[in-house]
Chain A
Amino acid sequence: MPAIDLDRIAELARIELTPDSAAAFRADLQRVLALVDRLQAVDTTGVAPMSHPLDLPQRLREDVVTEADQRDALLALAPTAENGLYLVPQVIE
């Protein structure tokens, strides 16, 4: 069984783990990995990789503007907005 870097996974998913939930997550992830191991064991020689369960091509839309301006309605859903902008906690990378 490969080691699980739970802190790294939580960081990537932006999830904060308490010590209690960490144990439960670790057990869950171990079961997921076990399932993946079973899948990996299947011989897939000659099988084309599947990217979607439906065997259909993507439908395309014509290049036409169909969306009206709904800014005010959408901004009203945000916790904070001002001057037509969504406001979020400051991020400087």
Chain B
Amino acid sequence: MNRTDWETVIGLEIHAQLTTRSKIFSGASTAFGAEPNRQACAIDVALPGTLPVLNRGAVERAIRLGLAIEAEIAERSVFARKNYFYPDLPKGYQISQYELPVVKNGAITVQVGEGEAAYEKTVRITRAHLEEDAGKSLHEDFHGMTGIDLNRAGTPLLEIVSEPDMRSAEEAVAYARALHTLVRWIGVCDGNMQEGSFRIDANVSVRPKGETRLGTRREIKNLNSFRFLQQAIDYEVRWQIETLEEGGTVQQATVLFDPERGETRVMRTKEDAHDYRYFPDPDLLPLVIDRAWIEEVRSNLPELPQALRRRLVEAHGLTPYDANLLTASKELADYYLAAVAAAGQALAKPCANWILGELAAKLNRSGIEIGESPVLPAHIAALVRRVQDGTISHAGAKKVFEALWTGEGQDVDAIIEAQGLEQVSDESALESLVDAAIAANPKSVEEFRAGKEKALNALVGQVMKASRGAANPQRVTELLRRKLTG
């Protein structure tokens, strides 16, 4: 038998915890880190007789996300009960949305890969629906019992479900990252993956290349980092292909990824899949969203990463790769835009280079967020301008940057002055150095006059050396050229 070429098919379900102050159906706080059960009120613990009342803030965030992914916002959507028994779900059902979700038919275009191999990929988003989170079970031993903390019960979630449009782990990670950037950008989710604010389930299947029907999928549950997402998919794809090539079959199943062993293992198979028996929740009326509300939310949306990326390429002349890096977070993009606003758009490129180069390296090394950077956008702008007008060399600018970073100085011009970094650009001051270099290097002069351009560099080098690096190399070059050809 010929070796089959396989195609990987991936769809993601992402649970984003919304940034509301209170819960989706009660007025209890959603703040992270409280003592167990201090933020679980009568509604959250499902005391008989309590009723849910929907949080306007949760709906508003769903609309924001829907608009940001160019989706339809349902004029009318319905909450349903998803029934299953688990002690961290005290009602015996989760309030979710089933047949009529609040958001449907969206899409997001993401950059995959780097450099020459980079390409754009559009991932369709089937739906996004509102639901409540469950509490937490603590399985440490309490005399053979399980402890239940219901602080998280009732925290609003938006479950964002993609179409099976991704064809590699790399594409899945690019999509998940883009969505992670987007939800933080528009302020609907804090994106904190350690705290579980952004959790990923990956549906993975393989099929022979050219086949149009989908293979049997397995769902990898609860991935809480992009690295695990990549590793889990890579392992799962290898396992499925091996299984099929050895003549086996893939059974539909829910699996868990074990980061320590780097492998997935079955949690439950199709036979013991839950039967959720969804039905409309009689405690909640249909959610109706009018056009005026949607337009109001739209008018408050910031420029989205995709649009900004396009603007940075078209109007600022950046590469798509740099534009992608600068729009990795709203904080970084705002920093860059503030620097360019101060420096002038003509200096956008050097601003981007300083931010993605020197500054990003420093931030990375010291684990500081861009918002806490001691070097401010105005500093970058001043630095770039002083390089541009020839006051300092690039090497001098690095020294100024260092002084700004350490806090040794706060003002670019003052640092240039204090450290004597100003280049000598004054012609009369340079002229004697240039004349001396010409006199001392007749061979280079002769070569240059004979048409050897490179010989000029040697002369420039001599002048730079004589000035101990203080001369402005551009001016020196001009002056030399004038004197030798004039």
Complex Cα spacing A74 to B53, Å: 20
Q: Which residues of A contact B445 (CB under 8 A)?
A: none
Q: How far is the CB of B274 from chain A (nearest CB, A)?
A: 9
Contact B145 A89 (CB under 8 A): yes
Contact B148 A88 (CB under 8 A): yes
Contact A85 B54 (CB under 8 A): no
Contact A67 B59 (CB under 8 A): no
Q: Which residues of B contact A64 (CB under 8 A)?
A: 21-22, 27
Knowing A62-B56, A70-B41, the reply to whether A84 touches B139 (Cβ < 8 A) is: no
Q: How far is the CB of A5 from chain B (nearest CB, A)?
A: 11
Q: Which residues of B contact A88 (CB under 8 A)?
A: 87, 145-146, 148
Of B30-38, B333-341, B362-370, the segment with at least 4 beta carbons within 8 Å of chain A is B30-38
The residue that B145 contacts in the complex, of A54, A60, A84, A90, with Cβ under 8 A, is A90
B250 at the interface (CB under 8 A from A): no
Contact B40 A74 (CB under 8 A): yes
Knowing A67-B28, A70-B42, the reply to whether A87 touches B54 (Cβ < 8 A) is: no
Contact B54 A60 (CB under 8 A): yes
Q: Which residues of B contact A12 (CB under 8 A)?
A: 83, 275, 277
B6 at the interface (CB under 8 A from A): no
Contact B37 A82 (CB under 8 A): no
Knowing A74-B40, A86-B37, the reply to whether A67 touches B26 (Cβ < 8 A) is: yes
A58 at the interface (CB under 8 A from B): yes
Complex Cα spacing A93 to B134, Å: 15
Contact A14 B85 (CB under 8 A): yes
Contact A86 B150 (CB under 8 A): yes
Contact B285 A71 (CB under 8 A): no
A18 at the interface (CB under 8 A from B): no
For chain B, the count of residues having a C-beta within 8 Å of the partner chain is 55
Complex Cα spacing A13 to B267, Å: 22
The residue that A74 contacts in the complex, of B45, B83, B100, B287, with Cβ under 8 A, is B45
- Residue of B29, B37, B85 ringed by the most chain A CB atoms within 10 A: B37
A83 at the interface (CB under 8 A from B): yes
Complex Cα spacing A62 to B54, Å: 9
Q: How far is the CB of B110 from chain A (nearest CB, A)?
A: 31
Contact A80 B40 (CB under 8 A): no
A21 at the interface (CB under 8 A from B): no
A24 at the interface (CB under 8 A from B): no
Complex Cα spacing A63 to B20, Å: 7
B400 at the interface (CB under 8 A from A): no
Complex Cα spacing A74 to B86, Å: 19
- Residues 14-46 of A contacting B (Cβ, < 8 Å): 14
Knowing A58-B54, A63-B57, A70-B41, the reply to whether A87 touches B147 (Cβ < 8 A) is: yes
Contact B148 A63 (CB under 8 A): no
The residue that A83 contacts in the complex, of B36, B58, B59, B78, with Cβ under 8 A, is B36
B414 at the interface (CB under 8 A from A): no
Knowing A65-B28, A69-B38, the reply to whether A90 touches B139 (Cβ < 8 A) is: yes
Contact B142 A82 (CB under 8 A): yes
Complex Cα spacing A13 to B20, Å: 33
Q: How far is the CB of A48 from chain B (nearest CB, A)?
A: 10
B13 at the interface (CB under 8 A from A): no
Contact B27 A56 (CB under 8 A): no
Knowing A65-B28, A67-B27, A84-B37, the reply to whether A58 touches B287 (Cβ < 8 A) is: yes
Knowing A63-B20, A63-B55, the reply to whether A91 touches B146 (Cβ < 8 A) is: yes
The residue that B146 contacts in the complex, of A61, A65, A66, A89, with Cβ under 8 A, is A89
Q: Please encode chain B, from 57 to 78, with 1 for each CB lying within 8 Å of some chain A CB and 0 for all others.
A: 1110000000000000000001
Q: How far is the CB of A75 from chain B (nearest CB, A)?
A: 7
Contact B42 A74 (CB under 8 A): yes
A92 at the interface (CB under 8 A from B): yes
Q: Please encode chain B, from 137 to 175, with 1 for each CB lying within 8 Å of some chain A CB and 0 for all others.
A: 111001111111110000000000000000000000000
B288 at the interface (CB under 8 A from A): yes
Q: How far is the CB of A32 from chain B (nearest CB, A)?
A: 14
- Residues 279-320 of B contacting A (Cβ, < 8 Å): 280, 282, 284-288
Contact B22 A75 (CB under 8 A): no
Q: Which residues of B contact A69 (CB under 8 A)?
A: 38-39
The residue that A60 contacts in the complex, of B36, B47, B59, B149, with Cβ under 8 A, is B59
Residue of A nearest to B28 (CB): A67
Complex Cα spacing A79 to B280, Å: 31
Complex Cα spacing A57 to B76, Å: 9
Contact B275 A63 (CB under 8 A): no
Contact B137 A91 (CB under 8 A): yes
Task: Other than A52-B285, A64-B27, A84-B35, give 14 A-B pairs with Cβ distance below 8 A.
Answer: A52-B282, A58-B79, A58-B287, A61-B27, A63-B58, A67-B43, A71-B37, A83-B142, A85-B37, A85-B149, A87-B142, A87-B146, A88-B145, A90-B144
Can you name 25 A-B residue pairings with CB atoms under 8 Å? A14-B85, A51-B100, A52-B285, A56-B285, A58-B54, A58-B287, A59-B53, A60-B59, A61-B53, A63-B21, A63-B55, A64-B22, A65-B21, A65-B29, A66-B27, A67-B27, A69-B38, A70-B41, A71-B37, A74-B47, A82-B142, A84-B149, A86-B37, A87-B146, A90-B145
Nearest first, the 5 closest Cβ-Cβ pairs linking A and B are A63-B57, A66-B27, A85-B147, A57-B288, A67-B41
